Amino acid sequence: MEPLAERLRGHTVMDAIFYAASGAAEHGAVWQLLSWSQWWRGKRTAALRASGGLAAESLVVNGLLKSLTRRSRPTGQLEHRFPLRRPVTGSFPSGHASSAAFAVVVLAESDPLWPVYLAAGCLVAWSRVHVRLHHPSDVLAGAAVGTLLGALVRTLFPLDGRARRPDGIDRQAEGLEQA
């Protein structure tokens, strides 16, 4: 994956796209905006679930997992072509990739805009390799963590209101059987 990044780096248009994507996802901003766009489209439960879930995902990844690993970031390019915040946290796993994957999994449920979420998520995740703030393995691990956390949120807080246990059993149906 790194040879592909090397071929794309230094091209004005590609650099502008990837730096902009990386910056837009700082502190989950683009994902929160997309979450609240669901509110404006009348999907209030989906908006609250996504926004709250993103906050929890960030605490798990940026607060807990990064503190356990403390992997150093790539050092290849210290000067960046465009303005970019240089994080002080560890590199593994990528918080940008994790929040992107989480947002894709949670926002895409029953939403015809899911291809937009998927494309934006991939763009943001790859941007972190392009701008040399993460190793490719950081991005892959972040995407895996975000996907798992997103699936957990969809299971525990379904949009149809029928909460399911992690083993897939419908809690409401289970309660009816016991009554």
CA atoms within 13 A on the CB side of 53: 32
**Helix, strand and coil in the chain, % to nearest 5:** 65, 0, 30
Q: At what angle do helices 136-156 and 44-58 cross, to 10 degrees?
A: 140
Q: How far is CA 127 from the centre of its chain?
A: 12
Q: Which residue, 81, 87, 103, is CA-closest to 138?
A: 87
The neighbour count for residue 172, using CB atoms within 10 Å, is 10
Provide CB contacts within 8 A for 13, sequence distance 6+: none
User: What count of other Cβ atoms lies within 10 Å of the Cβ of residue 123?
Assistant: 19
Interval 35-58 mean pLDDT? 93
What pTM does this model have?
0.80
* pLDDT at residue 162 tops 80: no
How long a stretch of residues is the chain?
Answer: 179
Domain boundaries, the chain: 2-178
Cα separation, 1 vs 126, in Å, equals: 10
For residue 47, name the pLDDT band (cuts at 50, 70, 90). very high
Tokens of 132: 């040399």
Domain 2-178 belongs in CATH node 1.20.144: yes
Q: What is the mean pLDDT of residues 17-27?
A: 88
Q: Please choose, from the candidates 99, 44, 53, 93, the residue with its C-alpha nearest in 3D space to the C-alpha of residue 71.
A: 93
Rounded average pLDDT over 113-135 = 91
Q: What three-state secondary structure class fits 132?
A: coil
So what's the pLDDT on residue 71?
A: 78
**Prior bond of 112 cis (ω within 30°):** no
Comparing CA positions, the residue from 161, 62, 162 lying closest to residue 102 is 62
